[in-house]
A and B are shown apart, each in its own frame.
Chain A
Amino acid sequence: MTDKNKPDPLRSRPSLKEVATFGAVSFALLVSLAIAPGKNYFSDWRHYQKEYLKLASQRQGGTLVRNFHTGIRQTWVPKLGVVDRCESCHVNMNGALLGATSQPFTRHPPIPHSLDEFGCVICHRGQGPATSVEDAHYTTEAWEQPLLPARFLESGCGQCHLAGLEGTPRLNEGRKLLASEGCAHCHNITQPDGTIIKPSDDPPSLAHIAEKTTREWIYTWIKNPQAYAASATMPNFQLSDQDATDISAFLISQSTPSPAAKVALKPASTSPVDATQAATLYGASFCSSCHAVQNAAGNLVGGTVGPELTRVGNKVNPEWLRRWLNNPRDYDEGTPMPHYRFDDKQIALLSSFLLAKTDSDFSSNVHLPAADADSIARGKKLVTESGCAACHQVNGVNPPQNFAPDLTRLGSRALAQVVFAPGMKHNLPDYIVAKIHDPRSFGPGLKMPKFTLSDSQIDSLTTALLAQTDRAAGFPKELIIAAKHPTDYHPGGEAGRLMEDLKCLTCHSINGNGGDMAPDLSREGSAVQRTWLEEFLKNPNTLRPALIRRMPKFNFRQTEIKTISDYILSAYQGTGVDSQTLDPHALNADAAARGKQLFYSKYGCNSCHIADYKTDKGYVGPALAGVGNRLTPAWTYKWLKDPAALRTGTIMPNFGLKDDEARDLTAFLMTLKAKQGGGK
């Protein structure tokens, strides 16, 4: 072919092949252009909206159908960084269509927040801007936050609410466990308000351990703490026999004598002890308010403030136990155990009772070789490397710094930074659950020990940890509801020293610091009368007939009673509760008669309180027989008007009494003087 013969490409008619090619390309272009509107037309949300309209017109019709506009629905909350299109499919979140029982048309269960204000992904995770079921709910390559399983849902609340919420038991439990199970000893967990979770357990100092127990016990304990006490929170480090041998050798060798060893104590009497008397003293001292013992059925009975005592006879050195009962503060300055002021006979009774709590199988076949320098050195290395000193005081080993990973942002950790064990699902909640359940399954040589936690407790811990998100750290500060932290209040002066010795704050809370086992004493001084208080401290008779945990009897000297009473009556006063509150002349016989009517007929006070042991049976509140000797009229009046204002968390309801009703009831209660100190 020559150039002349070649037709001008612009003028010639296209060949059939060219036309066909052009047609095919145009068609392909058309099809490709149709993909986007087609995808839109066949999209998940359009399908669900059609289905919703069908359902709505069948059932309700009318305005519900007329007002419905098809289209993508979006919630945009700029200050929280939320762009959610979930309601494009979940069209019935407000429940306008009644009785829809299946997804995506179910109504959102009632919560205290408006969905428009917070959006969906803040609590549920998932991909908010996505418009297909797959992208919104599940993990995709570009998005690694799948929908949060319902059992961890309360973590959403925990991003702003650092104080406990009534509706989130799982989150509350998880936060409590982070502190009580010792997580916070090794891990730093800073909450969105900047507070760091502080451990609430109190692992004992090992500085004088040789005085307290034997090397054989230490060996058996560190091998498996739960074999000694089912309720032990010390985790299992899965130590080999050799490791446990070395660590026990080191711990005994590093121990130094405690101040308790220097206290002169009468030698233990050899005369036999009456077992019934011993058990009675254990009961009368209310040891079980704090210490648990496993009963024959295998159930733990007792409190959790102190260690379990089921096999305490296997553990403690008898001489140490006598010194401990004499004054626990000599051995451990900071122990929450009160100084009971037991006499020699009582110490003999209690120590015989406790030493009898043994298990003959426990550590019976443990025979350790004598500790040599090599073994001790290896033990020290192990104690240092395992991080024992993060929880326990050990002579010659400093507490490790930055020992374990920071968990502050764990809830947003990128999956690329997570090392999964083979065969496990690649998502964050499953990873956290598996890690707490069995940390060593992620590879040999990992240091985190195995904790004894139920599946439900692990779910709670995971819920609390998932609340530690990047998003929460960036929230506007006014959204964060800070938790109430205990104050550092301690009573001062001579009475303060006495109350510290008795560890009143282990059970009672005063001015925002202390335990919750016993009543708050912050305003006790304006509530009670001196004679009653002194009598009560001498012989603490219970006010609540049905209560099992009670105030123990400390063997006070008269001067000590006076010191404490003076302090309580002067320092712990409530505002607005004074002699001006109530005119004493108003409390006359007429008022008392009216008050009695109110007590029994109008307000049914006798359903919870006993005013007369012959007729009343109420068990909920304290017995009021003898209340005229116990409480001051001003306090009683103010209390009746608004109980929660005087003692936070009381279950006594506020009846909204009128002034004269409260006065008449006070007059009646003040006539109840039959018995001293509550009486029997």
Chain B
Amino acid sequence: MRLLQVAALSLAVLIAGCRHSGPQPVKPTAYGAQVTEVSGGKQIAQVGSVLPQPVVLQVNGADGNPVTGALVKLHGEGLEFTPAESLTDSSGQVTVAVQLGFNPGDYQVIAESPKSGGGASSLTLREIALGYEQSTGKAVNDQYCIRCHDSESTPERVSNLDNLSTAPHLFTDGATLNRISDADLSNIIAHGGPALGKSPQMPAYGVTLKPAEIRAVIAYMRSVADPPYQMPGVKYGK
């Protein structure tokens, strides 16, 4: 009898201990037809850091108007979301902080919102994480390249892009730069535009930059390319 009591007690303790004490699952009060991005896609940040801007998503109904109280779930390999599940506010939007993972490269933010008739509408956003090599490349870019290869100006630095007779490619211009091999890019950076029959307005940086820095700039260009850069060679599925 005594033994039975002890067993019952320990079983009760065990069950209480096992009970999931996490947040209650969020229940939607309304359903939308489509998830759209308001802001926060294609951000660039250090590996492991929280993106500088939150991801803001909106759920619209079939009529195209924002829906309040619709559930939005986010997931993505290597990413952490705060909160991962939430209901849209009065303007039909959710705001989520996203933390990147350990590895440099592309991350996919996948947002899903259940529809009323079952199934879910989904949206995929791309975020970019810079590792050590890409950060080194970014530092070199910010020091040298950005003055001509960026159309934005700041108080410290006015863009020189429009002053050049042959417009330089933005580093985000994947459509053009993805087709140029690492070896060719390295040549242009080290020996200037004329090395590949391009404009002499691109100076030679081979003496100024170390080979590792040139590799780093290329790694940075590849990581911010849009559409994303694919490594040449065999591709495997997951």
Question: What is A's interface to B at a CB cutoff of 8 Å?
Answer: 59, 98-99, 101-102, 106, 109-112, 149-154, 165-170, 301, 455-456, 459, 546-549, 601-604, 606-608, 617-620, 644, 651, 653-656
B100 contact set on A, CB distance < 8 A: 150
Residue of A nearest to B100 (CB): A150
Hey, which chain A residues are within 8 Å of B216, CB to CB? Answer: 166-167
- A196–B103 Cα distance when bound, in Å, is 34
Task: Check A653 against B155 for contact (C-beta < 8 Å).
Answer: no
- Max count, chain B CB within 10 A of own CB: residue among A112, A455, A601, A653: A653
Task: Kindly identify, within residues 59 to 106 of chain B, every residue whose CB is under 8 Å from any CB belonging to chain A.
Answer: 77, 99-104
Q: Which residues of A contact B193 (CB under 8 A)?
A: 604
Q: A604-B201, A604-B203 are in contact. Are A619 and B52 (CB under 8 A)?
A: no
What is the minimal beta-carbon distance from A464 to any residue of chain B, in angstroms? 14
How many Å lie between the Cα of A601 and that of B155 in the bound state? 31
The verdict on B158 contacting chain A, using a C-beta distance below 8 Å, is yes
Q: Is the CB of B49 within 8 A of A151?
A: yes
Task: Select which of A109, A110, A653 is within 8 A of B205 by beta carbon.
Answer: A653
Complex Cα–Cα for A169 and B135 (A): 7
B200 shortest CB reach to chain A, Å = 4
Whole-angstrom CA separation of A547 from B206 in the bound complex = 28
Q: What residues on A are CB-neighbors of B219 within 8 Å?
A: 110
- B234 CB contacts on chain A under 8 angstroms: 98-99
Nearest B residue to A455, CB-CB: B50
26 contacts between A and B (CB under 8 A): A98-B234, A102-B77, A109-B132, A110-B133, A112-B212, A150-B101, A151-B47, A151-B50, A153-B47, A153-B102, A165-B136, A166-B135, A167-B136, A169-B135, A169-B138, A455-B50, A549-B155, A607-B148, A607-B163, A607-B164, A619-B147, A619-B160, A653-B144, A653-B204, A653-B205, A656-B207
Q: How many pairs of A and B residues are in contact by the CB < 8 Å rule?
A: 129
- Distance between Cα atoms of A169 and B138 in the complex (Å): 10
Q: For the complex, count residues of B whose C-beta is within 8 A of A.
A: 53
- Identity of the chain A residue whose Cβ is nearest the Cβ of B233 in the assembled complex: A98
B46 on the A face (CB < 8 A): yes
Give the residues in chain B near A608, CB-CB below 8 Å: 147-148, 160
Q: Which residues of A contact B235 (CB under 8 A)?
A: 99
Write out the residue numbers on chain A whose beta carbons fall within 8 Å of the beta carbon of B155: 301, 548-549
Partner of B136, one of A166, A456, A601: A166
By the criterion CB–CB under 8 Å, are B204 and A655 in contact? yes
Q: Select one of A167, A618, A620 contacting B132, CB under 8 A.
A: A167
- Contact residues in A for B206 (Cβ distance below 8 Å): 656
CA gap between A455 and B139 in the complex, in Å: 22
Min Cβ gap B238→A in Å is 7
A residues less than 8 Å from B52 (CB atoms): 456
Query: Which of B139, B148, B207, B213 contacts A169, CB < 8 Å?
Result: B139
Q: Is the CB of A604 within 8 A of B135?
A: no
- Residue contact B132 to A111, C-beta cutoff 8 Å: yes
Contact B103 A644 (CB under 8 A): no
Interface set, chain B 171-227, CB cutoff 8 A to A: 193-194, 199-208, 212-213, 216, 219
Cα distance, A656 to B192, chains bound together (Å):
11
Sort A-B residue pairs by CB-CB distance and give the 3 closest, nearest first.
A150-B48, A546-B158, A607-B201
Q: Tell me whether B204 and A656 are in contact (CB under 8 A).
A: yes
A110-B132, A167-B139 given as contacts; is B46 within 8 A of A604 (CB)?
Answer: no
Given A546-B158, A607-B164, A618-B163, verify A653-B207 contact (CB < 8 Å): yes
Is the pair B200, A604 in contact by a Cβ cutoff of 8 Å? yes
Closest to A60 in B: B234
- The minimal Cβ–Cβ distance linking B203 to chain A, given in whole angstroms, is 5
Check B158 against A603 for contact (C-beta < 8 Å).
Answer: no
Once the chains are docked, how many angstroms separate the CA of A655 from the CA of B213?
17
Contacts of B213 in A (CB 8 A): 166
Asked if A106 and B147 sit within 8 Å, CB to CB, the answer is no
Give Cα A200–Cα B99 distance, bound, in whole angstroms: 31
Q: Does B30 contact A (CB under 8 A)?
A: no
Chain B, 131-147, CB within 8 A of any chain A CB: 131-133, 135-136, 138-140, 143-144, 147
Q: Measured between alpha carbons, how far is A151 from B129 in the docked complex, in Å? A: 11
A506 shortest CB reach to chain B, Å: 17
C-alpha spacing A550/B42, complex, angstroms: 35
- Give, as a whole number of angstroms, the nearest-CB distance from B100 to chain A: 7
Are B144 and A651 within 8 A (Cβ)?
A: yes
Q: Which residues of A contact B140 (CB under 8 A)?
A: 166
- Residues of B within 8 Å of A165, CB to CB, are 136
**Chain A residues, CB < 8 A from B205:** 653
For the complex, give the distance between the alpha carbons of A41 and B158 in Å: 63
A152 contacts B160, C-beta separation under 8 Å: no
Min CB distance A595 to B, Å, is 15
| Chain B residue, CB-CB nearest to A657 | B207
Cα(A305)–Cα(B136), bound, Å:
27
Question: In the complex where A151-B48, A153-B47, A459-B49 touch, is A655 in contact with B147 (Cβ < 8 A)?
Answer: no
Q: How far is the CB of B121 from chain A (nearest CB, A)?
A: 27
- Tell whether, in the assembled complex, residue A607 and residue B132 are in contact, meaning their CB atoms are under 8 Å apart: no
A79 CB to nearest chain B CB (Å): 23
Residues of chain B lying within 8 A (CB to CB) of residue A110: 131-133, 219
How far is B48's CA from A101's CA once the two chains are assembled, in angstroms? 17
B133-A111 in contact (CB<8A): yes
A151–B46 contact, CB under 8 A? yes
Given contacts A101-B238, A102-B238, A109-B131, contact A601 B207 (CB under 8 A): no
Q: How far is the CB of A517 from chain B (nearest CB, A)?
A: 9
- Report the nearest B residue to A150, measured CB to CB: B48
Does A152 lie within 8 Å of B48, measured CB to CB? yes
Query: Which of A111, A617, A619, A651 has its CB near the most chain B CB atoms (within 10 A)?
Result: A619
Contacts of B164 in A (CB 8 A): 607, 617-618
**Cα distance, A109 to B136, chains bound together (Å):** 13
Query: Which of these, B133, B156, B159, B160, contacts A549 with CB under 8 Å?
Result: B156
| In the complex, residue of chain A having the shortest beta-carbon distance to the beta carbon of B209 | A653
Do the beta carbons of B207 and A109 come within 8 Å of each other?
no
**Which residues of chain A have C-beta atoms less than 8 A from B135's C-beta?**
166-169
A157 and chain B: residue at smallest CB distance? B132
Give the docked Cα–Cα distance between A546 and B163 (Å).
12
Asked whether, in the complex, the Cβ of B199 is within 8 Å of the Cβ of A604, the reply is yes
B13 → A minimal CB distance (Å): 21
Query: Measured between alpha carbons, how far is A619 from B100 in the docked complex, in Å?
Result: 37
Which residues of the partner chain A approach B202 to less than 8 Å between Cβ atoms? 604
A111 CB contacts on chain B under 8 angstroms:
132-133
Selected from B47, B143, B199, B204, the residue in CB contact (under 8 A) with A651 is: B143
Q: With a CB–CB cut-off of 8 A, which chain B residues contact A456?
A: 49-50, 52
The winner among B49, B148, B160 for most chain A CB atoms within 10 A is B49
